[in-house]
Structure formats: structure tokens, C-alpha cells
A and B are shown apart, each in its own frame.
Chain A
Amino acid sequence: MKRICIYGKGGIGKSTVVANTAAAAAAEGKRVLVVGCDPKADTTRVLMHRTIETILDAHTRLGGEPPVDAILHRGAFGVACLESGGPRAGEGCAGRGIALALQDIRDLEIVESLQPDLILFDVLGDVVCGGFSTPLRANAADTAYIVTTSDFMAVYAANNIAACIRKYAQRGGCRLGGLIFNARSAAGDEAFVSEFAGKIGSSVVGRIPMDRAITRAELKRMTVLEHAPEAPSAQSFRSLARHFLTAEEGVVPEPLDGEALESLGDRMAEAAFREENL
């Protein structure tokens, strides 16, 4: 069983990667469980073609631990879907909510009963929220992947995430599986992301091309694999799903120090300005 966390800066495409790779793996006959660990509760929207009741909402509605069928739903290609849920923006504590949801998953022995080949955790983008590291801290996942574009702030966030993964790698078995390059940024230059990945001791293991099929599929609350199975991005998701299922153990990353990161940023800026002038 592969237990994978997908990390990345907010809005970078984590949920897109999770939903579509889950669909791709399930389409190839694998048992897949997707756990949305974000209070926005939008991870499973395209897999379910609707929003589902979250674990925490079910908890509140029923006044206690919900039965499995109240929170576990089957989506596209038979992917099992769970959403932790959480508070509205600006209220409460998302981190505590995610921890509680993971506790419910453990107590209800959902993983034990589903026996999935692949579990994908879609983690919220806020690196300083306690919920951010919960899947790693709770030993629910053992490999983390970071989604990034070639924007400096996305790389900056990736470096922070690498530092967090390193921390948990040192006290547990968690490893960095690699970076996933999302080329949706107009000025996307994968070279910088590859360079960054190499410098932290990892590599780029997946590439999501800029593809309008992704936008259209999401607007229709569908995965790309349902909406446009022949689209270039669908092929990328299939390839990434295969990587998830077959990859060897990842690495303990060595995050860059501030100076090295700023130096990379300067060169990214130079390249961007050069491109603009051309």
C-alpha cells in the first residue's frame, strides 16, 4: 500500500493532481482512497461530481463518531472519497479539525477495511497550520510529493515544505518522493524547478502540461480522465499515477538556506525579465 501526501503552495494544483491521479490509478484497476485534508473540502468535488458531507460536519450532525457510510463515498472509477472538513475561513482551528478527522478514520478502521493500493492525502497549503503536517505526524502517510510551478513563491513554499518533511523524516519514516511540475504558469521554465529539486536532493517526477482540458473538466465537476481522456494532461496524470504506485522510497530532502534560495530567485527574475524584453 502506498500512502502519499500531496503538498504545495495554496492554489498550486494539489487537488487537481490528487483527483486525477486517483482516477488514473483506479481506472487501471487499483483500489484508491482519497482523503481531503483541507477545510475547503474541495478535493473530492471532481471525483464525486458534487460536494460531499465532511467527517467533521457528520460528526456535528450526528453528535458523535459517524458511521462509515455517512462519510465514505465512491466517486469516479470507484475511488473511495473522504473529506475531513473544518471551520469556515477565519474561525476555529483547521489543524485540530484535520487531526480529529484522521482520528475518526483510524477509529473507524477505514483503511483496514478498504485495503487500498494507494492512499492520497490532499493537504492544505498553509505551512504554518498544525493540520499541514498532521498526516506525516500521525504516521498516516510515508511519502510526500510537492506540486510547484516555476514561480519563485511556489518554489519558496516548496523549500519550506521540504524543511518540514526533513523534520518528520528524521524522527519517522517519511520521505520526499519528488516534485511535480505544474506548467500552468505562463512563464513556466521547468529548468529552475529541476535545478531546485536537484539541489534539495530530489527530482521532478511528474509534469502537468498547461492544458485547457483541466479547466474545462473542473468547471464540469469532472476529472480530466472522464472529461477528456485523450488530453495531454490525462496522459500526464496516468504516468504520475504509475509513478506513485511503483516508485522506490524517496529521499530525506536538504532544504536550501535563505541565501541559496534568494540566489535562485534572482536568476529566475533575470530570466523572466529577459523573456519579457524579448
Chain B
Amino acid sequence: MKPGQGCFYLGAYRAFVSVKDAFLLVHSVSGCSWGALALRQMGRQDDVRQAGTMVHEREIVFGGEGKLREALEILKARRPKRVFVLNGCPTDMIRDDIEGVIRQAACPFPVHWFNTAGYRGSMREGYIAAMCRLVPLLEDGGKRDPRAVNLVGISADDYRGETDLAAIRKMLEPETRLNAALPMLTEEGIRRWGEAGLNIVFRGFEAVGEALKQRFGTAYITVDYPYGAEGSAVFLRAVDEALGADHGETIRRGTEAAADLAEKVVHPLRLLYQAEAAVAGDHMRASAMRRFLQEELGLRIAAYRDDLDPHEDGERWLEAVRDSGAVLVFGSAFERQLEDELPLRLIRFAYPVMDAVALGYQPYAGFDGLAYLLSDILNGVLAYPYRRRGQFEP
């Protein structure tokens, strides 16, 4: 784990907080609880389902089991549908018997503990491990529906996660039915997970696809995040190939709409050819964004990093951006400093984004997402400081 990579706990948190109506109990010091909350402060503020045991020095010395016991008693009165107990590094180091406390508490609702001590790995590893931990909770559901698919990889904490999911659902239906998403599960999704005939797994989450295959025997395909018209078409063709479905009409309409869009903004679009850009983010989004920018818009990617590379070095990436002529940076709120430092624009697309909102239906993914993504990219280029000075200043 390196600075800036996040920790195992934060990754696991992202997965568990995505399970709708589930309650998260963070058994750790206040920093873990508030840190996770801070990273999702622009998430659904009407949907905060979290508490922390707020372990202090006293609990580190004498053990924190009492506080956990007390927290579970308080939760009993609130009757949540299910509770995920996450622990931080300190409560793992002092080896609180979390499992024993949960068993003794005999809560009238399911309580699941997962050892999420931060030092167990990177945020990416925590996210994947937590999704795998959710797999045993999923149920067979009713009859198999060969037209139904499940989607693996989008978290409720992702910037535009919900709206991207809605756009992907819109692309998939009615030829196929989006049955459930992991980790963005509902209680119904948990019950009906096994009904799907195919699991669509975003690149980098193959381990979750394998775990699901072992649990339900369901085949899975690995796809790239569907940015752009070509990215969306490739996504749908992969689904068609696996399921024998036909999204040909959706692809035709989507491609036509993309061409119409391009015609409307042909002049600023030309500005993008061979312009330099930098990309940083989680592998699922960053790799797909890189492809979209290079292949569909003709940008040159001067600096790239994603969390799949265990030797990922944020500092090296920053240096590469500084040495480049990048006019756009695609990243998270953590890349904001570059906007202050260099004459470029930041397009927020990767976790975490704490300094922007995308209200309503404003996806970046799918055919519908192209208009929003392209608008933000072009607005970024049009607002580029050097260009502004060139046009309006002597």
C-alpha cells in the first residue's frame, strides 16, 4: 500500500456502503469512520447509514469489545435490515473478538463482519475482497431468466455511479434485463441474484466473476466500461455474443446519435486532435477512458496511471503531467491541485469526487453518457486558460 492508494478498509467500505438499506458499523478510531464519510460527502446525503464505535486510547489498552457490544445494542432499537461490521487497523491489532461479540449480541437481523483492517491491502484489493465477501449472501432467487444479466463493479460511492448504472440499464433493455448489480445491491437484488443467465464483469473484477461462477455456476464476460459510442457498442456486442441477444438496433440508434452530436460541435472537436491529456483513476474507468480519448477523440495520452499496477506511483505520474503539454486531466478530486498549478482543466470521473455534484440523469457511460462527457470535455478545452488569453488578450 502506498500513500494515495487508499487502504483495504476504504475499498471494502465502498462495497458495503453500496448495499442499499444496509447499515455500516465501523469498529475503529474516529478517523476511519469520518474519513470514509468525508470521501463520500457528495454521495447521497439523504442516505447516510453509518455509525462508528469511535475507539479511543482506553479501548486500545483494555479492548474495544465493550463499545462494539454497546453499539450493537443501540442498533437493535433501530432495526436495520442488515448490518455490516467493518474494523480498522487498531481493532485488528488488539484482536478484538468481533465475531464473538456479534454472536453474543444475538441481533434480530443479519450482522456480517468482514476484517477490513487497512493494512490488509490497497483500496482496490479491499473493494474486490468485499465484493467477494458479499457473494455468499446472494440468493438463488426464482427461475433462471436467460435474458437477465447482473452487472459487477459500480459502487454507489462512484462519481455518477447511479446515473451511469441507469444509462447502462437503459442500453441493455428491453432486449436484456438488468437483474441486479454488485455491489449496488438492494434486498431484492440479493434475493434474485441467481436468476440472471450472465454476469457482466467490468475489467479488473474478474475475481468477483469467478466467485459468482463458483457460487451459482453462472458464466461471466469481462467488458470495458462503456465510454463513448464505440465503447458502448463493444459492450453491447459482448453481451449479445454471450447471450445470443440482439442489441443491433440500440447500437445503430446510438451510433447515429453520436454522429449527430459530433456534427454539432465539429469545430471544437477538431481542437482535440493530438491534444495532450492525462488520465488517473481506478482501472475500470481509467483504462476505458484512455481508450475513448485516444480512439474516439484522437487525444494523446501523455501520462496514465491506474490502481491495477501495484507499483503505481502517483508522484511519477504527477511529474509526467508537469512535463507534458496536457490541456486536460481526467481524474478524481485528488488531482484538483493540478488545475491550480498548471494551465489545464480537470474532468472529474474517478473516485473520489468530493467537490462536485452531478444531479439528475447526467451519465458519462453508455450512448446517453456521450453527450454529457463530450460537453464537459469541450467546455474544459474552451475554458483552457492559454486559449482564453490567446483569444481575448493582447
Contacts and interface: CB of A to CB of B under 8 A. Distances in A.
Interface in A99-118: 100
B57 A92 contact: no
B60 A96 contact: yes
Contacts of A59: 58
B77 interface: no
Interface residues of A, number: 14
B74 interface: no
A100 B63 contact: no
Contacts of B94: 91-93, 96
Nearest to B94: A93
A93 B55 CA distance: 13
B62 interface: yes
B62 A87 contact: yes
A100 B62 contact: no
A59 B59 CA distance: 13
Contacts of A100: 57, 61
B357 interface: no
B230 interface: no
B364 to A, nearest CB: 46
Contacts, number: 39
B93 interface: yes
Nearest to A86: B61
Given A60-B58, A96-B57, A100-B57, A91 B93 contact: no
Interface residues of B, number: 14
Of residues A59, A90, A92, A94, which shows the largest number of chain B Cβ atoms within 10 Å of its Cβ? A92
B65 interface: yes
Interface of B: 57-65, 93-97
Given A87-B62, A88-B62, A93-B61, 18 more contacts: A56-B61, A59-B58, A60-B58, A86-B61, A90-B97, A91-B96, A92-B59, A92-B60, A92-B62, A92-B64, A93-B60, A93-B93, A94-B61, A96-B60, A96-B94, A97-B61, A97-B62, A100-B61
24 contacts: A56-B61, A56-B62, A59-B58, A86-B61, A86-B62, A87-B61, A87-B62, A88-B62, A90-B95, A90-B97, A91-B63, A91-B94, A92-B60, A92-B62, A92-B63, A92-B64, A93-B60, A93-B61, A93-B93, A94-B61, A96-B61, A97-B62, A100-B57, A100-B61
